[in-house]
Amino acid sequence: MNSVVQTRKEEIIKTAAKLFKEKGYSAVTMRDLAAAMGIKAASLYNHITSKQDILKAIIVSLAEEFTREMNVIKASDLRAIEKLKLIVALHVEITVKNTYGMACLNNDWMHLEEQLEHYLQLRKTYEQDFIDIIESGIISDEIMDANAEIIMFSILSTLRSLYLWIPKKEAVNANDLAETLSRVLINGINK
Amino acid sequence: MNSVVQTRKEEIIKTAAKLFKEKGYSAVTMRDLAAAMGIKAASLYNHITSKQDILKAIIVSLAEEFTREMNVIKASDLRAIEKLKLIVALHVEITVKNTYGMACLNNDWMHLEEQLEHYLQLRKTYEQDFIDIIESGIISDEIMDANAEIIMFSILSTLRSLYLWIPKKEAVNANDLAETLSRVLINGINK
């Protein structure tokens, strides 16, 4: 695909993610999307085949990006706490870069059709990898001996909510935010 | 209102919260609700006037419960960390008791109509009270000197996500969960 066509498709996907965030996936029509792009609805179909096609492009590509990065982190020989810091930084970085996409991932994944199973499998594996890292940290005595699933839930809930919070900040420095969040999530807040 | 009528209204509200969770507020009709209750749609109107009326009953009463409890916690002369532990326990307790209601609060608050402003004001005040407690803990040297808003966001995101996670557990002991979560959120996870 040539780069002009690719760019237009990316633009459609970005605009759609913003509309899905604002109105909810179900309420957005291809006509709304064309209007937001300032083009005719018919022209959209040169680039994408359906709303479902866009949803898939947004969500599955994000989920696959998380999976790829988790595999890199898993395979590294870092200590568990360092791996967790990389996971925090990964969520901050992706959410700062693609806030609307992350909103769509969180709010609209249940509207996926033939890709739903694939998405759920990626999510399940990601959560299990997360738990495995925490458990390895408990065994190596880096992490306190508490229920690994509660720890995973607690950290991941915060990371998954970043899309709600980042847009309210005027200028987020991803490195600063990742560092403060890592301190809060890993070292706790008490002195 | 006599207690039989009150009980039937509560039953309608509970059933509605479950349906809203499963299908989304917009997709649920009064007819669906009547079917789920095993009664005629017309009978529903003896107890409630509209779907919006139910949404208000679910969300506003929860938000007011959080506000009342936050006022008690705020007014106490406990140290900041102890106040935060009470807030964690409050969220766990309410979410265990009314998981569908909390799902509705989180997913459907934007569908509130004339009560939307009231709800948003309660939420804003609650978040500000939360930040004030954290800031008082930073001043009294109980809490590390980091951005109070990031700390609030981090803890509250986890607490607000409890409704997603609690139903997956077979039998949740609210006290155990509140205690482990307090340790994780306040003391951190590292040894």
pLDDT digits 0-9 by tens, B34-53: 999 999 988 899 999 999 99
- Other C-beta atoms lying within 10 Å of the C-beta of residue B64: 13
Q: How far is CA A50 from CA A12, A33, A68, B179, in A?
A: 12, 11, 27, 48
Mean pLDDT per segment of 10 residues, for chain A of length 191 residues? 72 94 89 93 90 96 98 97 96 95 94 96 98 97 93 95 84 85 90 75
By a Cβ cutoff of 8 Å, what residues of chain A touch chain B?
Answer: 24, 26, 81, 134, 137, 141-144, 146-147, 150-151, 153-155, 157-158, 160-161, 164-165, 177, 180-181, 183-191
By a Cβ cutoff of 8 Å, what residues of chain B touch chain A?
Answer: 24, 26, 81, 134, 137, 141-144, 146-147, 150-151, 153-155, 157-158, 160-161, 164-165, 177, 180-181, 183-191
CA angle B96, B13, A160 (to 5 degrees): 45
Q: What is the pLDDT of residues B141-167, one digit of tens each?
A: 999 999 999 999 999 999 999 999 887
User: CA B1, CA B39: separation in Å to the nearest integer?
Assistant: 21
User: CA B92, CA B162: separation in Å to the nearest integer?
Assistant: 7
Phi-psi region of B92 (alpha: psi -120 to 50; beta: other; left: phi over 0): alpha
Q: In this structure, which amino acid lies at residue A162?
A: L
Inform me whether the pLDDT recorded for B100 exceeds 90.
Answer: yes
CATH dotted code for A52-187: 1.10.357.10
What's residue B169's pLDDT? 72
What's residue B83's pLDDT? 97
Contacts (Cβ under 8 Å, ≥6 apart) of B145? B138
Q: What is the DSSP letter of B190?
A: B
Q: Where are the domains of chain A?
A: 52-187
CA distance A80 to chain B (A): 10
Best CA proximity match to B185, nearest among B177, A71, B166: B177
Check if the beta carbon of residue A59 is closer than 8 Å to that of residue A109.
yes
Burial class (CB in 10 A: 0-12, 13-18, 19+), A174: middle
Q: pLDDT band at residue B176, thresholds of 50, 70 and 90?
A: confident
Which of B143, B187, B189 would best serve as a mutation to test chain A binding (most A beta carbons within 10 A)? B189
Domain B51-187 top-level CATH class: mainly alpha
Query: Of the candidates A137, A150, A161, which has its C-beta nearest B157's C-beta?
Result: A161
Phi-psi region of A38 (alpha: psi -120 to 50; beta: other; left: phi over 0): left
User: CA B20, CA B34: separation in Å to the nearest integer?
Assistant: 13
What's residue B3's pLDDT? 65
Phi-psi region of A40 (alpha: psi -120 to 50; beta: other; left: phi over 0): beta
What's residue A170's pLDDT? 67
What's residue B170's pLDDT? 67
Q: How far is CA A184 from the centre of its chain?
A: 20
